[in-house]
Structure 1
Amino acid sequence: MQNFNHLITTRPHEVRQVLISDLHLSPEEPALVQAFLALLDDCLALPELKCLFILGDWFEVWLGDDFYLSLSDEERQIHWLTPLIVKLKRLRVAGCEILVMHGNRDFLLGQPFCNLFGGELIYEPYTLTVGQQNYRLEHGDALCIDDKKYQFFRKIMRNRLTQWYLLNKSLEKRLAIADNMRQKSQQNNANKAAYIMDVNESAVIQAVKDSDALLHGHTHRPDIHPISNDKIRYVLGDWRLLNSGTRQPKVSAVIGAVTANVGEDIIADSAEFGLFEFKILV
């Protein structure tokens, strides 16, 4: 695993796509918000960047697009989401696509919010072609089939009728429901064995059978895992605040990047995917 910052300083023309996951942004964690803004600044400095993927759990909780869209102009001016939208719009105007996938925390995120910065909501599984290989992209929670309680909950929450029901509740009611679900999730996870909250090997093999590689987040266990038949599973990392409470707090994440030689397209043989460590002082 390499350092992402050297791509910015020594190989900026080679970066074609950036892939991130599990930022869990919220107003309660301003350092993570600042780190994301710093990454967007890095992306704006990459002259050949074609796409930014956000593969789920962009936000710690998402109560519905109307949470932001219903705000007045004055309220938006001071809202913590507005600087993100402004910078994402700059990135889109610069020619970089912004593709957003649902996670288990922000499954109520909709296309209307993405329209604010010219983004596109995508659905799993999503196929990304890198060189001559097809990468299957997903958030990763659907692979954790040993956690049967969660999978039952996921099935209910991803149902359109359930989402319609939630979105027709007041924002206050939705906030109370979200807080209650988060507390129950924390209690349940505290009593679960570690393997239950990780991906299931058979689920991984099934998911990657028609692809050359699998890329996901969710588990907060960044790594590169070989799979049978020369296939690979890449796991993106969550965004973590290090040295909290010190004079120089730092945010660290493991992200993905597609690189290609200058003048080559991402579908050329020379295109490669790799995991990189992104660190920023906040």
Structure 2
Amino acid sequence: MMLVDDPAVIDYSHLITTRPYDVRRVIISDLHLSADEPALVQAFLALVDDLIALPNLTEFYILGDWFDAWVGDDRYLSLTAVEAKRHWLTPIIEKLKHLSNQGCKIKVMHGNRDFLIGQRFCDLFHGELVIEPYLVSIGNKAFRFEHGDALCTDDKSYQRFRVIARNPLTKWLLLKRPLHKRIAWAQKIRQKSALNKTQKSMSIMDVNQQAVLRALKPVEALLHGHTHRPNIHEVITDNENNSTKPRYVLGDWRVINPESSYQQVEAVIAVSTSTEFEQKESLQLVKFMIKI
């Protein structure tokens, strides 16, 4: 996994062991959870356990691609009580409900893999489905949160697909199709996506500079995922004055040693902190690592 080598990036475990009272918000993206990747599911559950232990956490954001595929809330909501009890999503819902009941607001954003998530599913854990771009004030800065795929405008074919797929009418028609057909459709999309990654250049699948400048124009900072290239970029917004604004990129969640009996999951996430005395919130990227 590509991890950032930057002094602003710290270890998440350090924060929760030495500064648990300072953590205010946690932002993650690109988990790609599925029943086929139990290590990722267990890593996410471990993260939520950490969040539950943070006494002053106010918000938890999931900025898209929470799931590797989502064909509609009804796939889970239509389960019988016995089926739901055995389902891999149920422990996630229960832990998130616990977190929400402690006063932490859980906000979920669509990604390119799970744009069919609905508020009905989020209601199960008292979460809120938010629409990108989502504006958040952190310290004295206005942040723009988004998944990140809309910034990759050089990938023309994907952007055409995105416009069609995100259309409310398209989503309504998709959700009217039988569940088994939606599952087959999602599998086809995943296969096509994997093929495209081998055929398209990395630069095409990264963000476009002009798209980034447009996104940054009304705010002081940008935070997104999707590209799987975690880093903090200083974007030049004014050449004459050499003015810059930060672009924070979250990392995807990956199993580092899948063949080992002790698998390690790593991700780069964002955490905001504020001390009781400073009263000023700041954001940093941190490494979340856990052995399963």
TM range (shorter): over 0.9
Q: What do residues 212-254 of structure 1 show as CA deviations (whole Å, max 9, x unaligned)?
A: 0000000000001001222000000000101111122100000
Q: In structure 2, what is the equivalent of residue 157 of structure 1?
A: 165
Q: TM-score, normalised by structure 2?
A: 0.94
Q: In structure 1, what is the equivalent of residue 63 of structure 2?
A: 55
> 2:67, 2:235 → 1: CA distance?
30
Match of 1:66 among 65, 70, 74: 74
Once the 2 structures are TM-superposed, how far is the Cα of residue 47 of structure 1 from its aligned partner? 0.3
Q: Which one-letter code corresponds to 1:163 in the other structure?
A: K
Q: In structure 1, what is the equivalent of residue 207 of structure 2?
A: 199
Q: What do residues 154-200 of structure 1 show as CA deviations (whole Å, max 9, x unaligned)?
A: 00100111111110111100011111111122222211111000000
> 1:230, 1:147 → 2: CA distance?
26
Q: Which one-letter code corresponds to 1:89 in the other structure?
A: K
Once the 2 structures are TM-superposed, how far is the Cα of residue 56 of structure 1 from its aligned partner? 0.2
Q: In structure 1, what is the equivalent of residue 19 of structure 2?
A: 11
Q: In structure 1, what is the equivalent of residue 239 of structure 2?
A: none
SS at match of 2:246: strand
What are the equivalent positions in structure 2 for 1:55-134 lying under 5 Å apart?
Answer: 55-134=63-142
> 1:164, 1:189 → 2: CA distance?
28
Q: In structure 1, what is the equivalent of residue 3 of structure 2?
A: none
User: Is there any run of 5+ residues in structure 1 with no aligned partner, and where?
Assistant: none
Match of 2:254 among 240, 247, 250: 240
Q: Which one-letter code corresponds to 1:259 in the other structure?
A: T
Residues 109 and 263 (structure 1), Cα distance of their counterparts in 2 relative to 1, 3 Å cut? farther
Q: Using the aligned pairs only, state the percent identity.
A: 57
> 1:263, 1:27 → 2: CA distance?
44
Question: Is 2:258 the counterpart of 1:258?
Answer: no
Q: What do residues 24-55 of structure 1 show as CA deviations (whole Å, max 9, x unaligned)?
A: 00000000000000000000110000010000
SS at match of 1:76: helix
Which shows bigger deviation, 188-197 or 210-219? Answer: 188-197
SS at match of 1:195: coil
Match of 1:278 among 252, 272, 288: 288
> 2:195, 2:95 → 1: CA distance?
37
> 1:189, 1:162 → 2: CA distance?
25
Q: In structure 2, what is the equivalent of residue 37 of structure 1?
A: 45
> 1:262, 1:34 → 2: CA distance?
33
Q: Which one-letter code corresponds to 2:108 in the other structure?
A: V
> 1:244, 1:187 → 2: CA distance?
22
Cα RMSD for the two superposed structures: 0.9
Q: Which one-letter code corresponds to 1:235 in the other structure?
A: V
Which shows bigger deviation, 245-254 or 83-92? Answer: 245-254
Q: Where has structure 1 moved over 6 Å in runs of 4 or more?
A: none
What are the equivalent positions in structure 2 for 1:208-247 lying under 5 Å apart?
Answer: 208-228=216-236, 229-247=243-261
Q: Which one-letter code corresponds to 1:225 in the other structure?
A: H
Once the 2 structures are TM-superposed, how far is the Cα of residue 263 of structure 1 from its aligned partner? 5.9
> 1:126, 1:161 → 2: CA distance?
22
SS at match of 2:203: helix
Q: What do residues 4-26 of structure 1 show as CA deviations (whole Å, max 9, x unaligned)?
A: 00011000000000000000000
> 2:189, 2:95 → 1: CA distance?
32
> 2:26, 2:207 → 1: CA distance?
23
Q: Which one-letter code corresponds to 1:178 in the other structure?
A: A
